[in-house]
């Protein structure tokens, strides 16, 4: 903890499908002197993107999902601000941030909403600025999703300029 300059972590080890170790160390709030517990939730930033995309890639490999199919094929209760976007947004669009959705940290921070509540809140996110008509996901004639690379993952290059609107 000293070397990495972190006040406290929680660790869990799963072996052969069973939890074999759960420990908490240090402080979750240095100023208040609150200890980390095994129930402490940590923000881990964009690391969750790699977990999510890897899990989806495994499902893709098992032919249980398809990058190019609409999210609603898998999550029927998925809703966005616009009906057309709701019906057309694909798994690939969400993974590559090509949906036109604005930042929406308020949905998951401070962590007091359930997954079902977060999903329901998605319908209130208005499309972000800077895209054609501020509705990038509503431009089907100009849609060109990124190609899949040799690994089966979508090519999601930040500097590629590939979005649903070009």
Digits of tens for pLDDT over the chain (166 positions)? 999 899 999 999 999 999 999 999 999 999 999 999 998 988 777 788 888 899 999 999 999 999 999 999 999 999 988 888 889 889 988 888 777 777 666 666 666 778 888 888 888 877 765 443 333 443 333 333 444 444 444 555 444 444 333 3
pLDDT at 3: 93
CA distances to 2, 27, 112, 113 from 37, rounded to whole Å, are 19, 9, 18, 20
Round to whole Å and give the CA distance between 91 and 75.
10
Catalytic positions, please? 46
Taking the domains of the chain in order of start, what are their residue ranges?
1-42, 47-142
Inter-residue contact 143 to 89 (CB < 8 Å): no
Using only C-alpha atoms, the chain has a radius of gyration, in whole angstroms, of: 19
Nearest-angstrom CA–CA distance, 136 and 36: 43
pLDDT of residue 104: 67
Distance CA(153)–CA(147), nearest Å, equals 9
């Amino acid at each position: 903890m000293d070397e990495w300059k972190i006040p406290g972590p929680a660790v869990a080890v799963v072996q052969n499908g069973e939890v074999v170790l759960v420990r908490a160390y240090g402080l979750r709030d240095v100023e208040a002197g609150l200890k980390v517990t095994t129930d402490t939730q940590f923000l881990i930033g964009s690391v969750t993107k790699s977990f999510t995309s890897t899990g989806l890639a495994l499902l893709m490999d098992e032919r249980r999902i398809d990058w190019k199919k609409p999210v609603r094929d898998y999550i029927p209760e998925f809703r966005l601000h616009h009906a057309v976007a709701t019906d057309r947004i694909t798994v690939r669009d969400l993974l590559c941030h090509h949906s036109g959705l604005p930042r929406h940290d308020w949905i998951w921070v401070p962590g007091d909403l359930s997954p079902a509540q977060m999903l329901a809140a998605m319908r209130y996110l208005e499309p972000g600025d800077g895209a054609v008509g501020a509705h990038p996901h509503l431009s089907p004639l100009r849609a060109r999703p990124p190609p899949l690379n040799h690994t089966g993952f979508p090519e999601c290059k930040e500097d590629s300029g590939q979005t649903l609107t070009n």
